């Protein structure tokens, strides 16, 4: 079954991303509410068709930790990607001053399981692990949002990328090594940085602004000791988990299976953390602060 634009009714805008907007839409034939991402690309029809074909493997993938994919189509040179609507939005808007350790562990379990599913079942690496790509719903579910399945889409997006916060692993930035291909270990680095951001409430490197150079920032990622979770709020186990993810040597970083065996995640695996309660509170706090602005 293929979705097309005529079947969709606009409800509201959910957010603006690096490459285009995300809208909440109603799929009229089924009554399903969806999130539709518009990705503006200057591509010919062959390349656009290739992207649609590559995205098709998402139809076969079913994981509780990956946003469900409903279909994609293109109109002129825009790709429209329809996916499961997550009613609490992305984690970057929910983490506030940082999430408590039990919530952090539960989020981490979902992220690792989602990444492991992509790697083992789809043979894909994510390439863009960061809090904006992790979504939550009011049921307390945490899922990864993903476009890393389409090589052509990754290639086309890379050419239009203008972001400034980097979740890129050191080996991806170092000029002498940048020819090496992206590996699953680079996703593990981005996971480590994302965990620190979720736990501490901020992106762990000072981002370049008009007073500092991009070079100093890049150098910090490559040469300085990796960042860590704040010692006053987080256990030894959680800090060790992050330190494992942020090993400078990519080969030294654990696999997803090893991460799932780590005591940080084991401790909370069956803890029945009240994720639903946390998401609802965090969402209300986000709405309240958005209204003030
Ligand atoms: P980015 O380009 O920064 O990764 P996106 O374009 O993916 O951001 O998303 C922009 C915003 O739209 C997100 O921050 C999120 O709040 C919202 N959004 C994206 N996907 C969904 C979804 N499936 N359900 C609900 N909200 C979404």
pLDDT higher for 269 or 208? 269
Whole-angstrom distance, CA of residue 123 vs CA of residue 239: 29
DSSP letter for each residue of 95-136: -TT---HHHHHHHHHHHHHHHHHHHHHS----S--SGGGEEE
What is the share, in percent, of the chain residues with pLDDT greater than 70? Answer: 92
- For residue 84, which atom of ligand 1 is closest to its CA? 23
Which of 11, 12, 13, 14 maximizes ligand 1 atoms within 8 Å of its Cβ, making it the mutation to test the pocket? 14
Is 120 considered catalytic here?
A: no
Complex-level ipTM beyond the 0.90 threshold: yes
Residue 134 has φ and ψ, to the nearest 5°, of -115, 125
pLDDT at 179: 46
Encode pLDDT of 86-98 as tens digits. Answer: 999 999 999 999 9
| Segment (H or E) for 35 | strand 32-40
For residue range 1-59, list pLDDT tens digits in order.
789 999 999 999 998 877 789 999 999 999 999 999 998 888 888 989 898 888 888 88
Residue scoring higher pLDDT (160 or 238): 238
Centroid of ligand 1 to alpha carbon of 37 (angstroms): 8
The 10 Å CB-count burial string (b at 16+, else e) for 52-65 is: bebbeebeebebeb
Closest C-alpha among 126, 133, 170, 167 to residue 148: 126
Pairwise CA distance, residues 47 & 41, whole Å: 10
Q: Which residue among 87, 102, 128, 240 is the active-site one? A: 128
What are the backbone dihedrals phi and psi of residue 198, each rounded to the nearest 5 degrees, phi first? Answer: -65, -40
Best residue for ligand 1 mutational test, from 26, 132, 146, 194 (most atoms within 8 Å of Cβ): 132
| pLDDT for residue 244 is more than 80 | yes
Residues whose CB falls within 8 Å of the CB of residue 78, separated by 6 or more in sequence, listed in order: 20, 38, 39, 40, 41
Centre of ligand 1 from the C-alpha of residue 244, in Å: 29
Q: Which residues of 68-78 are buried (b: 16+ CB within 10 A; e: fewer)?
A: bbbbbbbeeee
Asked whether the beta carbons of 45 and 53 are under 8 A apart, the reply is no
- pLDDT greater at residue 254 or residue 212: 254
Q: What is the pLDDT of residue 222?
A: 87
């Amino acid at each position: 079954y293929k979705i097309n634009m005529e079947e969709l009714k606009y409800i509201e805008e959910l957010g603006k991303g690096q490459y285009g907007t995300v809208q909440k839409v109603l799929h009229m034939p089924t009554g399903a509410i969806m999130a539709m991402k518009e990705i503006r690309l200057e591509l010919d029809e062959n390349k656009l068709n290739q992207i649609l074909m590559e995205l098709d493997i998402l139809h076969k993938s079913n994981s509780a930790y990956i946003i469900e994919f409903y279909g994609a189509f293109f109109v002129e040179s825009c790709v429209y990607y329809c996916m499961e609507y997550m009613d609490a939005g992305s984690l970057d808007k929910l983490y506030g001053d940082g999430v408590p350790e039990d919530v952090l562990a539960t989020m981490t379990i979902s992220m690792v399981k989602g990444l492991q599913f992509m790697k083992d079942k789809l043979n894909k690496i994510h390439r863009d692990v960061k809090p904006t790509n992790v979504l939550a719903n009011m049921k307390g579910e945490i899922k990864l949002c993903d476009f890393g399945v389409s090589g052509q889409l990754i290639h086309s997006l890379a050419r239009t990328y203008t972001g400034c916060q980097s979740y890129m692993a050191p080996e991806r930035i170092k000029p002498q090594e940048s020819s090496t291909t992206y590996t699953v270990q680079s996703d593990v680095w981005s996971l480590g940085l994302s965990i620190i951001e979720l736990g501490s409430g901020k992106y762990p490197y000072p981002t370049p602004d008009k007073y500092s150079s991009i070079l100093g920032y890049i150098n910090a990622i490559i040469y300085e000791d990796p960042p860590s979770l704040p010692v006053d709020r987080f256990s030894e186990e959680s800090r060790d988990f992050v330190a494992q993810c942020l090993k400078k040597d990519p080969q030294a970083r654990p696999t997803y299976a090893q991460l799932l065996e780590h005591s940080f995640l084991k401790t909370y695996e069956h803890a029945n953390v009240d994720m639903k309660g946390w998401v609802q509170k965090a969402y209300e706090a986000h709405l309240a602060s958005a209204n003030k602005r």
